Amino acid sequence: MSTTNRMPSLRSLRAFQVAGRHLSFKLAAEELCLTASAVSHQVKNLENFLDIELFVRKTRALEFTDPGSNYFEFLDTMFTRLQMETHQLRAEYGRKMVRLCLPPFFASELFLPKMDALQTMMPDTDIRISTQPSLMKVHPAEADLSVLLGNDDWPELTTYPLFARRLVIVAAPSQLKKIDRSCFKSLNGQTLIVHENRPNAWSNWAKTINAAAPQAGNILRFDSMSAVVQAAAQGLGFAIVSLPMSKNWLDSGALQQVFETVWITDERFYLAHRAEEQNRPEVVEFIKWLIQEFQHDG
């Protein structure tokens, strides 16, 4: 068979499109529930099929080549249209579905505990949950609704403010005897837990109280807020965590707030959707429920 009549695999096209949207194999892998090496392998297969280099691979990032950029724009439009057409077909002839994208820690700590109530309210609607890190401030093309963290910088979307991002310093009760809780400097020499995506969290916190950044005895780094919280609860060190996502850990006593200070950042969590989603009754119902459950000032 002539190769001119062949088409690349849908899997490799999808891998390239998602990697191109994030310019990262790691973030694409998180979205596709694959390993970064698997995504890289799929993209390489596509490049071999086309005999064209689509990305310039750098140490910590990807850059498009000129043909890669052009091909991505075409594929991104194609996949978005395909998703919309598929969704409209399902909405008209199949079961209703609402697709919600959440930050992972928001999903596990706030949303999932309320799923029973949601399913009771919307028994005829299927709910599809996906996650993306809160630092990814984009509304995914495949989502109907998403919760985004930022400063409402999405003029193309309809948004509803939910609550401000508030931060506190926490530790397991066993750790509190090691420090003077009235003095921020007493964190010097202690093990500090850091989220890889927010490496400057401790120094930024110090700036808000006009103090020097603590000099860690050791640093533990994790790539998820869930791991940060669990490490702190196991007594491995001190951590900066978000409220109200960490409220259950504090209420249970597994974690305790170290200092009274609560840092209210200038970022908020927002519920977001494209304007056309308001034409779908099941989405409107879901929006009302999300706002009722998660919109508050505290």
Please give the CATH number for the structural domain made up of 86-164+267-294: 3.40.190.10
253-262 per-position pLDDT tens digit: 999 999 999 9
Q: What is the pLDDT of residue 91?
A: 62
pLDDT-above-90 percentage for the chain: 61
Overall average pLDDT of the 138-166 stretch = 91
Considering the segment(s) 165-265 as one domain, its CATH architecture is 3-Layer(aba) Sandwich (3.40)
**CA–CA separation, 160 vs 202, rounded Å?**
29
Overall average pLDDT of the 32-51 stretch = 91
94-113 per-position pLDDT tens digit: 667 899 999 999 999 999 99
Residue 126 has pLDDT above 90, yes or no: no
Please give the CATH number for the structural domain made up of 3-80: 1.10.10.10
Q: What is the pLDDT of residue 2?
A: 41
Q: What is the pLDDT of residue 4?
A: 53
Q: Where does the chain hold its CATH 3.40.190.10 domain(s)?
A: 86-164+267-294, 165-265
57-91 per-position pLDDT tens digit: 988 789 999 999 999 999 988 888 887 777 667 66
Q: Where does the chain hold its CATH 1.10.10.10 domain(s)?
A: 3-80
Q: What is the pLDDT of residue 83?
A: 76
Sequence-distant contacts of 102-105: CB under 8 A, at least 24 apart: 102/129, 102/130, 102/131, 102/146, 102/147, 103/131, 103/132, 103/133, 103/134, 103/147, 103/149, 103/269, 104/131, 104/133, 104/224, 104/225, 104/226, 105/134, 105/224, 105/225, 105/226, 105/229, 105/242, 105/245
**CA–CA separation, 16 vs 32, rounded Å?**
11
Q: Coil, helix or strand for 210?
A: coil
